[in-house]
């Protein structure tokens, strides 16, 4: 197994396991629900769309440092570059974003389980719940999972959902000495209304099926 030859330390092992677990989870869940006949069409369309939104919206740009940014291999150790090669890093991250979006759907479905669905029309409280979930998980990613890869002094590429690129990237605040950056968080602030409208669109188009 190639992972054993990468020389990962204990912290890097945990990071790699989290990344691969989160990235493969939506595939396993999709297959399971499909086999059970419980996979709703609107959720299928939403998560597929969310994959491409994440991939083209920021993940490919950050991975390869396409526009005035550092390649991902310059922002992490050789061991991590071995364990999650840059050729698939954008893919695992995009699938991880799918997990985040899907869990957002689960959160809203749970909170509104006895109320009118939040997927029939735009509801501000539902939007705030999604935004809070997306941003909070991303703060954790920036200061814990991917610190020194997307946080700290790294230079991230411009991306469609990071419109100000590395040229305007002030520190918003710090947690335990680790900075949370504007560029790192703006992507999910801009992506939230996009994802929410995608959910609403496909829910209405399929009548919630």
CA–CA gap between residue 202 and residue 42 (Å, rounded): 5
Q: Which two tokens stand for residue 55?
A: 């991939």
Domain extent, residue 54, equals: 2-205
Instruction: Work out how many domains the chain is built from and give that number.
Output: 1
Give strand pairing partners of 159: 162
Q: Which two tokens stand for residue 47?
A: 């998560």
Instruction: Please state the pTM of the whole predicted model.
Output: 0.94
Per-position pLDDT tens, the chain of length 209: 688 899 999 999 999 999 999 999 999 999 999 999 999 999 999 999 999 999 999 999 999 999 999 999 999 999 999 999 999 999 999 999 999 999 999 999 999 998 878 999 999 999 999 999 999 999 999 888 887 666 667 899 999 999 999 999 898 898 888 888 899 899 999 999 999 999 999 999 999 99
């Amino acid at each position: 197994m190639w992972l054993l030859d990468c020389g990962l330390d204990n912290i890097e092992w945990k990071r790699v396991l989290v990344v691969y677990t989160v990235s493969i989870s939506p595939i396993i869940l999709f297959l399971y629900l499909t086999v059970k006949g419980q996979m709703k069409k609107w959720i299928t369309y939403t998560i597929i769309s969310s994959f491409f939104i994440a991939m083209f919206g920021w993940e490919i740009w950050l991975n390869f440092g396409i526009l005035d940014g550092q390649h991902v291999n310059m922002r992490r150790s050789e061991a991590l570059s071995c364990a999650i090669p840059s050729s698939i890093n954008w893919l695992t991250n995009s699938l991880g974003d799918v997990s985040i979006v899907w869990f957002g759907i689960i959160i809203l479905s749970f909170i509104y389980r006895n109320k009118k669905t939040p997927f029939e029309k735009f509801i501000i409280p539902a939007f705030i719940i999604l935004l809070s979930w997306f941003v909070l998980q991303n703060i954790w990613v920036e200061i814990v999972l991917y610190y020194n890869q997307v946080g700290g002094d790294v230079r991230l590429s411009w991306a469609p959902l990071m419109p100000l690129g590395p040229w305007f990237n002030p520190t918003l605040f710090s947690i335990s000495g680790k900075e949370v950056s504007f560029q790192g968080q703006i992507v999910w602030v801009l992506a939230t209304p996009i994802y929410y409208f995608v959910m609403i669109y496909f829910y209405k188009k399929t009548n919630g099926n």
